[in-house]
A and B are shown apart, each in its own frame.
Chain A
């Protein structure tokens, strides 16, 4: 079955750029979404169709998707960005979530 692989954890200093990857076979041929989940809260959509931001999502969040890897980039990371991040794609009418990446802002 299709799988999406994310690093379990990423650390970044405040103001620096955080990069979170999501890998899957021919992932670049699918649309990828990204969700942010803070402790005790529901997930929030932050990127859809690889690189688009919903209304209200800060510009420091951006996405790309080429080949086998989708990337979520957070520029000028802030303390409030500390959260779990999940990628998601469709495969054969089935939704697949990545395992999630815990972003720590040190």
Chain B
């Protein structure tokens, strides 16, 4: 089955670091962009950035540039979203998404989300 499987919920303190993951199943991982979308509690969708695992080219939203790092390990079909120092305002659901630039030109596959809670 084609799917994205994300790592489990996290509870962290302000200032701590975090890396969450997203593993692709059932498709050629290196042929699609992998990205991240934030959804704060009760709010809308915000695009954070995207990476092409085939050559590690990445693009970030200006709102998230320098705040997070998007990476991927193509040997294990896994993408990552990383913070060096979390803030309470990072509390949100984070969705991993697949972007198909050659076909629908859309985010055609979404993971179940990873809830990150940052609280002292």
Q: Main SS of the interface on chain A?
A: strand
Bound complex: CA A95 to CA B107 (Å)? 10
A35 — which chain B residues lie within 8 A by C-beta? 45, 107
- Near B by CB (< 8 A), chain A positions 24-70 give 31, 33, 35, 37, 42-45, 48-49, 52, 54
CB-contact partner of A54 in B35, B104, B113, under 8 A = B104
Which residues in chain B, 64-117, are within 8 Å of chain A measured between CB atoms? 95, 104-108, 110-113
Give chain A nearest CB distance to B29 CB in angstroms: 19
Number of A interface residues at 8 Å Cβ cutoff, please give it. 24
Q: Are B108 and A94 in contact (CB under 8 A)?
A: no
Residues of chain A with a CB closer than 8 A to B119's CB: none
Q: List 18 A-B contacts (CB under 8 A).
A: A1-B62, A33-B106, A37-B45, A43-B37, A43-B107, A44-B110, A45-B110, A48-B108, A49-B105, A49-B106, A52-B104, A84-B44, A86-B44, A94-B47, A95-B50, A97-B47, A98-B44, A100-B44
